[in-house]
Chains A and B, each alone.
Chain A
Amino acid sequence: MASIIDIKDECALHVRDFEFTYKGAAAPSLKKVSMPIAKHSVTALIGPSGCGKTTLLRSFNRMHDLYPGNTYNGEIEFEGRNILNPKEDLIHLRTKIGMIFQKPTAFPMSIFDNVAYGMRLQGIKNKSELEGRVEKALQDAALWKEVKDRLKHDANGLSGGQQQRLCIARAIAVEPEVLLFDEPTSALDPISTQGIEKLVIELKERVSIIIVTHNMQQAARVSDYTGFMYLGELIELGHTEELFVTPKEKLTQEYITGKFG
């Protein structure tokens, strides 16, 4: 049986008996997943490829809805409502729950316009407000010093690590409550990876973070809670230290010691 710790602090999200089935699939890819996501902390999701961690992550901002035919069951509670409700306003939801992707996704426009994009979508037109918030977001993403003299340049001229920080700046500029990171450093070199990890730890002061990673050291370095997933089930969720040092489940222990995966 799964071993899920009970989080006493306030929670950002509550997953209850969540099941997800891809279009045309016979069996659900996620089976009865239940977990709390602590507020203002980092929760890492680990597990072998195909275990459903990215599928779970992409459920939090209903990214699966871009491809019709997938079905959700169960409940994901956010701000007092079930966001799996078909009537949920996805545009509003996605401004509250932002996402950073595996590969940097700089839009084909200037650095400034990239960061301002989400704010402009929300109807902010005032130039000085935009400028102020773009600078703030870039500073928070530790990118301001590198780009402040070339805000009008094409964002695709930045390096991979810079582009990923640009994406983080773009996501935090709209002041979300939750940030989802989908293997954000798997396309980056070690030094850029360090920068992103440092940023994740700093950002948890303001947002709740869920990060999917293939790298167990990364999970150990950045996260407060870690969930181990296997074959569509959440096997164990615990404080990161405890999970890595004294896992309660045999499967977890076998995975973190490298017996499979």
Chain B
Amino acid sequence: MTAVQKRIIINKLALAFSTLSAIIALAFLFWILGVLVMKGVHALNWNIFIYEGSPPGYAESGLKHALVGQLILVGLATFIGVPLGILAGTYLSEYGKNSKLAHTIRDISDIMMSAPSIVIGAFVYAVVVMPMGHFSAWAGAIALAIIMIPVILRTTDDMLQLVPGTLREAAFALGAPKYKVIIDIVYRGAKAGILTGVLLGIARVGGETAPLLFTSFNDNFFTTDLNEAMPSLTVTMFNYAISPYDDWQQLGWAAAFILSMFILGLNIMGRLILLMGKRK
């Protein structure tokens, strides 16, 4: 066997192994998604969107409470987290740049991004739930916002830095003050990237259960009171899935399906926006 033949064989082997590994990894993903879609679609019906939770055994039970609660929690978290994340990212890219403070913030943010979300839940329990004396939607939203901020901060920082420095200089050369340069030129140039970061940030917190367990807690009934415990799809799913009742378990599947599709949709949308922004 010549050296070249040997290399060809090794090449083919490496290719075969890496392909096999990819297939195995993806197989699990599709297995999970497949089961989720089959069971989830089966469990879907209109009652889910019309009725709130009820004790097991009632025909008229649904997930309206958890769906609305989920939207409120994620919406409120977005409302808190997006401005903070974008402004902090703007500071890093436009003001802090390579200063020591900026690097420290970036490092801490990166650590925060990989912090176990239950730790953040415990933190919010200590600083919000304890002083308030009860669970609340506010506490849940704050916990989600804390998880969301590093994601948005990092993408904003990265995306703003992609805007060429000459574009900033050109605006300064026309006599623009710094805040105008940032708003008119830098944000505009990076808007697809920032929007993607926001969507990915929302997707990141949309599926969180742990930080909600002892912040917004859960409830089986419909509520819009932000000072009360608030149901969410994730915690409801958790409770229903471990219950021994078949109809609750069915609702759990439906919740899992709806949530997964919501997050999948956000991720796809985020990537599409980035793609379209690049193509222009």
Chain A residues within 8 Å of B, Cβ to Cβ: 61, 63, 66, 91-95, 98-99, 101-103, 105, 107-109, 117-118, 121-122, 154, 156, 167, 170-171, 174
Contact = CB atoms under 8 A, between A and B. Distances in A.
Contact of A118 (B167, B168, B175, B185): B175
B280 A61 contact: no
Contact of B169 (A63, A91, A121, A156): A63
A156 B280 contact: yes
B174 A121 contact: yes
Interface in B41-69: none
B188 A109 contact: yes
B171 interface: yes
B145 to A, nearest CB: 29
B176 A121 contact: yes
B180 interface: yes
Given A108-B185, A108-B189, A118 B174 contact: yes
A115 B251 CA distance: 58
B173 interface: yes
Contacts of A94: 172-175
Interface string B223-252: 000000000000000000000000000000
Contacts of A66: 168-169, 172
Given A91-B175, A94-B174, 16 more contacts: A61-B173, A66-B169, A91-B176, A93-B175, A98-B173, A101-B173, A102-B166, A107-B189, A108-B167, A108-B185, A117-B171, A117-B174, A118-B174, A154-B280, A171-B174, A174-B175
Contact of A103 (B166, B171, B175, B280): B166
A107 B167 contact: yes
A108 B160 CA distance: 13
B167, B175, B177, B188: residue with the most chain A Cβ atoms closer than 10 Å = B175
Contacts of B171: 107, 117
A103 B170 CA distance: 10
Interface string B142-179: 00000000000000000000001011111111111100
A101 B167 CA distance: 10
A109 B170 CA distance: 14
Interface residues of B, number: 19
B188 A99 contact: no
Contacts of B166: 101-103, 105
B107 interface: no
Contacts of B185: 107-108
A174 B174 contact: yes
B184 interface: yes
Contacts of B174: 94-95, 98, 117-118, 121, 170-171, 174
Interface string B174-198: 1111001000110011000000000
B243 to A, nearest CB: 53
Contacts of A105: 164, 166-167, 169-170
Contacts of A167: 170
From A93, A101, A107, name the one whose CB has the most chain B CB atoms within 10 angstroms.
A107
Contact of B188 (A92, A98, A108, A170): A108
Nearest to B189: A108
A121 B173 contact: no
User: Which 5 A-B residue pairs are closest in the complex by CB-CB distance?
Assistant: A105-B170, A99-B173, A95-B175, A118-B174, A94-B175
Contacts of B168: 66
Nearest to B170: A105
16 contacts: A61-B173, A63-B172, A66-B169, A91-B175, A93-B175, A94-B172, A94-B174, A99-B173, A101-B173, A107-B167, A107-B185, A117-B171, A117-B176, A121-B180, A122-B175, A154-B280
